[in-house]
Amino acid sequence: MFRCGIAYPRCRWIVPLLVLFAIIFDIIAIAATSGWVEDENAKSHYASMWEQCRGRNDNWECKSLMEYSWAEAVAALMIIGLLILIIAFIISCVALCCSLNLDLVPAIAAMLTIVVILQIIALIIYPVKFNELIFEGHYYYTWAYGFGWGATILSIGCAVIFCCLPKYEDELTGLAKTKYIYSSA
Each domain of the chain, given as residue ranges in start order, spans 7-40+63-184
CATH 3.40.50.300 fits 7-40+63-184, yes or no: no
* Orientation angle between helical segments 105-133 and 69-92, nearest 10 degrees: 160
Q: Is the pLDDT of residue 2 over 60?
A: no
Measured distance between the N- and C-terminal CA atoms of the chain, rounded to whole angstroms? 6
CB 72 within 8 A of CB 176: no
pLDDT digits 0-9 by tens, 26-45: 999 999 877 788 887 657 78
Listed in sequence order, the residues at least 6 apart from 131 whose beta carbon sits closer than 8 Å to its beta carbon are: 139
Q: Give the mean pLDDT of the chain.
A: 84
CB 107 within 8 A of CB 161: no
